[in-house]
Amino acid sequence: MPDSIQLQDDIVERNLHGPLNQVDPSAAALFERNMHHAVFERLRREDPVHYTPDSPFGPFWSVTKFNDIVTVDSNHKVFSSRRDIVIGDASDDFDTPMFIAMDQPKHDVQRRAAQPAVAPTQLSELEALIRTRVCTILDSLPIGEEFNWVDKVSIELTTQMLATLFDFPFEDRHLLPYWSDVTTTSETVGAEADMEERKRILGECLAYFAELWKERAAQPRKFDFISLLAHDPETKDMINRPMELLGNLMLLIVGGNDTTRNSISGGVYFLNKFPGEYDKLKADPSLIPNMVSEIIRYQTPLAHMRRTALEDFELGGKQIRKGDKVVMWYTSGNRDDEVIDDPDTFRIDRERARHHVSFGFGIHRCMGNRVAEMQLRILWEEILNRFDRIELVAEPERVQSNFVLGYTKLPVVLHPKL
């Protein structure tokens, strides 16, 4: 264990103070120790479009400033999403195509098929259900004794929402976060992932959803993800392309689970680290919608998205070559002080709070962004109705991942309203 700690110390030191050509912002230790912000601050200042020649994922470019990220994310003709959206390359023997990792026109066709599940009209119908579930979860929490907010609230609420969006059997809903965690092991750096075990588990996921697909295809069209895909003329034969079906399931599960889950935990953490903002919130609950956007900016649930250059391109004075990996670090863009005033401060009444890169830009902008915002808004409305304060009693434990910026443990104690 001491050797492991020393190795992490060395990685942090090299990234913060070593030669620029040795800076590798994908290093897992940076994220687990919450030191990645300091490294990205260095890159934004010294080398905003940075080339890492050697990493566990091979060479790649890091795009760290807000406007450069928008440039890359919006230029789909030069920067392709095809096949890979994370730094690591997909395994040739376990290729799971998904529409976020596709280019036009196929991307647009598949995304459009699933989109109605999270359309504004659908969300308005879901709001009462979400509020009922939020109230049930909050009313079940222990008062005055320590518990893990991640398990009791963040995971449970997002799992219930996912079950609704898939019209998934409620008694089996625990399988959804389980499959989500297995899916993201390929982006988790550190311990060796057992690929064969991962394939087996995701094979079970595919088999479960294949049965749901057959049921939905035989029934009238509804507004859950599976029914929409099974009935759309452009996607109804996806059942015959099982790896593509699995890829899109993985996308929709992770997209609806990890991102909202970690923003729910992050909000509690940030309000404790900035207690003046907590007081401001209690004095003026109308700030909740704006605070939700600030939570999503400050947390940045997905640290990066990767593109591949289809042709040579100059960015920030650097020459990117055809075939190069280009990584947009959303977590860095959201702390760019040239675009966002005092970005390292959590401020719930921030002007233009929705002006962040957490959801991406262009055709790949997160299609479930309104679902995430609605869940967070309802949650905080009901928290303020019940509790005087959610007290953080120890520092959180974080996921060791350069992709999902998340928490495994957030120890809290609830104090009721007097």
Q: Which CATH superfamily is domain 2-141+151-256+302-366 in?
A: Cytochrome P450 (1.10.630.10)
Q: Which residues of 39-78 are buried (b: 16+ CB within 10 A; e: fewer)?
A: bbbbbbeebbbbbbeeeebeebbbbbbbebbbbbbebbeb
Please give the radius of gyration of the chain, using alpha carbons only, rounded to the nearest integer: 21
Determine the pLDDT at residue 62: 98
Banded pLDDT at 181 (limits 50, 70, 90):
confident
CB-facing half-sphere around the CA of 417: CA atoms within 13 A: 7
Determine the pLDDT at residue 2: 53
Q: Which helix (H) or strand (E) holds 328?
A: strand 325-329
Q: Is the pLDDT of residue 78 over 70?
A: yes
| Average pLDDT for 185-201 | 63
Determine the pLDDT at residue 190: 39
Banded pLDDT at 384 (limits 50, 70, 90):
very high
| Average pLDDT for 344-355 | 97
Which of residues 164 and 190 earns the better pLDDT score? 164
Q: Is the pLDDT of residue 227 over 70?
A: yes
| Average pLDDT for 253-261 | 82
User: Given the structure tokens 């008694």, which residue do they identify?
Assistant: 171
Q: Is the pLDDT of residue 189 over 60?
A: no
Model's pTM, two decimal places? 0.92
Q: Is the pLDDT of residue 191 over 80?
A: no
Determine the pLDDT at residue 94: 64
Which runs of consecutive H residues, i.e. helices, occur in 75-194?
A: 106-114, 120-139, 149, 156-166, 175-183
Query: Among the listed ranges 80-89, 266-275, 400-409, which one has the minimum average pLDDT value?
Result: 80-89
Domain ranges of the chain: 2-141+151-256+302-366
Query: Among the listed ranges 191-205, 250-264, 305-319, which one has the minimum average pLDDT value?
Result: 191-205
Determine the pLDDT at residue 141: 98
Query: Among the listed ranges 65-74, 276-285, 397-406, which one has the minimum average pLDDT value?
Result: 397-406
Determine the pLDDT at residue 360: 87
Assess contact for 285 and 384: CB atoms under 8 A.
yes
Determine the pLDDT at residue 188: 44
Banded pLDDT at 263 (limits 50, 70, 90):
very high
Q: If you average pLDDT over every residue of the chain, what do you get?
A: 90
Determine the pLDDT at residue 24: 96
Determine the pLDDT at residue 97: 64
Banded pLDDT at 124 (limits 50, 70, 90):
confident
| Average pLDDT for 23-33 | 91
CA distances from 158 to 211, 220, 269, 349, 361 (A): 23, 27, 18, 26, 24
Q: What torsion do the CA atoms of 372, 66, 327, 72 make, to the nearest 10 degrees? A: 100
